[in-house]
Chains A and B, each alone.
Chain A
Amino acid sequence: MCRLALKTASEAFSPYEVLQAMEAMQEGYDGSGLGLLLRGLDFEDFKYNSKFPILSGIAHSEESWHRLNSFMENRGFELKYDHEFETRPELIEATDRYRYFLRAYKMPASLSDKTKDEIENELMLTRLALRKDGEDHGNDLTVFSFWPDVATIKEVGWPLDIGNALNLSDNRIKSRVCMAQGRQNTNYGINLYACHPFFIQGIATMTNGENTAFVPIRDWLLGKHFPGYTGYQSDSETFTHILHYTLKKLKLPLQAYKHIITPLRGDELINHPQGKFLTGLRDSCRRLIIDGPNAVIATLPDESCMLVMDQKKLRPATVGGRPGAWAFASEMCGVDAMIPDRDPSLDFQPMREHTIIVPPERKELTIWSQHDPYPLDQAA
């Protein structure tokens, strides 16, 4: 079963810290993939303007690297920073890694008068176009994210090896939020795009466990014909897209996510103050009910972090920390490794009805229960 670690802190820290936490949980993954997603970025050699979108990915050949450059240029994005990893390729299993890239771009002038939605759409379509370009050329280009203040690194192998291979311990990149997932391959193939965290328009999630309702959920999302709902090399990618659908398409508050993926039982809904609305929501979104067991960890553009459990509560996940620094991990030892200087007696293990939020201020945890009143006017 995959291992998850997330750290969020007011002071930027090195992603290597989170990789060390992954090391503490090493029984749980098989080296079939590591994903890292960083928010609130701080580069040692560049004063980063957090409005600049960052393109993250891997060019597998020089030719694809040149194609990438000309594609971005043609699309009007001006390169502002190109982070060069000091790599040790011998630590990487794969041999077709020409260049790992994290590149900050300035938005094209043509986007300056566009709405927020239009800009977000353009960023997503740019990422998808690059991904397709890679797929059309024998998968020689892999693109993970293209978004302001978000960097993503994915690679097949053991987490610490990958961290060493990219020299992530050198403090040249730091971030206030770091998500990491060590993958235990299930039955959907070893593929860079199958590594968590998954990303769409500012929203990222990672998961342990398997989504056994994957196919019906995927079929439903594909039926929405939204260009970003694509990929699905991993069953867990649906969790990201459901969160995106909840927040961006339905424009519902974050509390709704849990009600959509794991609705309350019929008898529980009868006793809920907004039971009628939530029953209707469950029926409308019935095809999005996940059938875990999973712990889903998400981060949002405002640096909020979220942890929810599936209804079975068969997966472990713990949250712990102190004001200013919090950690989510699939194992308690992961939390220990990330924030040793906390009071472990205050650690919290969410149950089936819980949603844990660490707001951007990082002062305290917020714990929502699905049995709590639902905060939306329309439910009244």
Chain B
Amino acid sequence: MVSARSVSVGPGSLSYTDLPWIIQHREDRCTLCGHCTAVCPKEAIYLAYRRQRMPKLDVLKKKRGNEYRTFVGIRQKPNMANACIGCSMCAMVCPNEAIVPVPNTNEHRTLFFNNQKGEPMKRGGRRNKVGPTLLDRIMFNRISMLTDPALDAGRHEFNVTTTLGRTLDPEEFLKRTREGGWIPPTREIFPFVIGSMSFGALSPNMWLGLLQGVAYCNEVLGIPVVMCTGEGGCPPWVLKSPYLKYIVLQIASGYFGWDEIIRAIPDMQCDPAAIEIKYGQGAKPGDGGLLMWFKVSKLIARLRGVPEGVDLPSPPVHQTLYSIEESVMKMIQTLSTAFGHKVPIYPKISASTSAKSVLNNLVRNPYAGGLLIDGIDGGTGAAYNVSMDATGHPIASNVRECYLDLVAQGKQNEIPIFAAGGIGKNGNVTQNGMALIMLGASGVHIGKYIMQSVAGCLGNEKNRCNVCNVGICPKGITSQNPKLYRRLDPDLVAERVGEVFMSIRTEMKKIMAPLGRSQSLPVGMSDALGIGDKDAADRLNIKYVC
């Protein structure tokens, strides 16, 4: 054994087997083309020249000596800054299948060193919890088996849209119609909304692809999909286009991009679909938006009205002198006025035990057009790991209790509740969304699922990739570096948007048809739901089945 001094070991020293992903490289297949090292977003691998000593002993000649050979191979850097993230881009570009990262099945040491320089771990993605979610476990079990046959999902006519915006009680609607009063604006939309991902969090090509795809869904496929901008404003050419009607503009506590939006109002050809006021986000409750300096490019800086290359942490709350509820009330009213009371305005909050109080405030606010509740499994472009993993409230029970509260007041048709956070986490996007709808949501927002399904986002809950925050997205989805985002073809993204929404629409019909539903979205049809978990069934007020 050698003395410790002769080996370079410090408290933070790691070997490659301590990393969460271990690169397996087959030297016999490698052509040394260099593609893998060039594509690696973390510079986690490098081409290494090694010398191998071959001891040589010639007994007859009584000579000792050595022979040396050199070999070349790909090696992994065993430090935190360059730890492999498992994105597998190396495997994707390798012509010979010579390289692949594999998850470290042992516990890995980086968990204890992800706080370099005193800075806790920040990342993109969502709560790193694997396995079926509660939504995945819900079954649709009220199948029409007597009197009425199940419907034909392929040939029957289905109405699968929902209402965004406040609707009046029928008696009040008739009264205002008679008296020429204000009828709050509503939109008839597809219940799966592309959730707020900002221009800045997403690359220009990703945004362009989404916009094209959404327009195609509306104009060609007849699926009235809308998408939300997120906090970073909206490009002027979109604001002044006839496609603005498919866009929900978000205003958040940083107010980024709202100078441009307000100035564009006189030139708008149509009203936006809605305005979303972000008060909270499920992935990082209590935090404002965060765009790290890596991603504040010249374009983003101009759009947001800020200098280039600085971190953009939005405050946790909107500017308010007194209380959140007053701020909510004033912002809703102000924005409704700004758009001539013709655009639904709704807040987005983090799922929370206090969601019901927010909802009841909105019920009494005549300008509030709905409530979006974002659960703990929601995604984000950048947040502290501890916020993502440990802070927040699951969406299902939160939406359910809010809906039942509205039911008790007879107001469930007046304020639509939209749900977000973990829908499609394991790919079951339609099943998850329809479960929430039957629990009482009028629709759902999907963000991470959209990135994964339309653009091939590699992130997962084993902390694969999840580097959206630092602008090195290997697929070019969340990067502002042209070298990276040019990898993403907007036309192909748009094509995938169309495919994804066509598929969701068909799956919705396949869920609704056996329940005998076709004429209206089965909002609150909780008699159709069952779950094999007694506690969850009791909490959600649905059937326990086994």
Contacts and interface: CB of A to CB of B under 8 A. Distances in A.
Given A266-B188, A280-B183, A281-B173, A287 B413 contact: yes
B169 A284 contact: yes
B178 A378 contact: yes
A209 B147 contact: yes
B177 interface: yes
Contact of A223 (B186, B412, B518, B523): B412
A219 B412 contact: yes
A111 interface: no
Given A186-B147, A215-B527, A216-B525, A210 B169 contact: no
A291 B520 contact: yes
A216 B523 contact: yes
Interface in B518-542: 518-520, 522-527
A210 B144 contact: yes
A247 B522 CA distance: 26
A223 B146 contact: no
Chain B, interface residues (CB within 8 Å), range: 35 or more
Contacts of A285: 170, 413
Given A186-B146, A280-B183, A283-B163, A225 B170 contact: no
B174 interface: yes
A175 interface: no
B60 interface: no
B37 interface: no
A48 interface: no
A212 B517 contact: yes
A262 B519 contact: yes
B410 A284 contact: no
A112 interface: no
B416 to A, nearest CB: 10
Contacts of A280: 173, 177, 183
B147 A1 contact: yes
Given A212-B515, A266-B161, A219 B148 contact: no
Nearest to B523: A216
Nearest to A249: B171
Contact of A213 (B168, B407, B410, B522): B522
A215 B520 contact: no
A47 B421 CA distance: 69
A250 B170 CA distance: 7
Contact of B524 (A216, A252, A293, A312): A216
A204 interface: no
B524 A223 contact: no
Interface string A215-242: 1100110111100000000000000000
A311 B147 contact: no
Contacts of A290: 519
Among B156, B168, B413, find the residue whose CB has the most chain A CB atoms closer than 10 A. B413
A277 interface: yes
B7 interface: no
B167 interface: yes
B316 interface: no
B259 to A, nearest CB: 34
B524 A286 contact: no
A379 B178 CA distance: 8
B33 interface: no
Interface in A301-316: 310-312, 314
A223 B440 CA distance: 15
A293 B167 contact: no
Contacts of B517: 212-213, 291
A109 B510 CA distance: 60
A142 to B, nearest CB: 24
Contacts of B168: 284
Most chain A beta carbons < 10 A, residue from B169, B170, B188, B525: B170
A36 interface: no
B144 A212 contact: yes
A210 B148 contact: yes
Contacts of A378: 174, 177-178
Given A210-B147, A225-B410, A266-B161, A215 B526 contact: yes
Nearest to A221: B410
Nearest to B162: A286
5 contacts: A213-B520, A281-B170, A284-B167, A284-B169, A378-B178
Given A212-B516, A222-B407, A250-B170, 17 more contacts: A1-B147, A184-B147, A215-B527, A222-B410, A223-B409, A223-B410, A266-B161, A281-B170, A284-B168, A285-B170, A290-B519, A292-B148, A293-B148, A311-B519, A312-B519, A378-B177, A378-B178
- Closest 6 pairs (CB-CB, A-B): A223-B410, A212-B516, A284-B173, A289-B520, A215-B527, A284-B170
Interface of A: 1-2, 184, 186-187, 209-210, 212-216, 219-220, 222-225, 245, 249-250, 252, 262, 265-266, 277, 280-281, 283-287, 289-293, 310-312, 314, 378-379
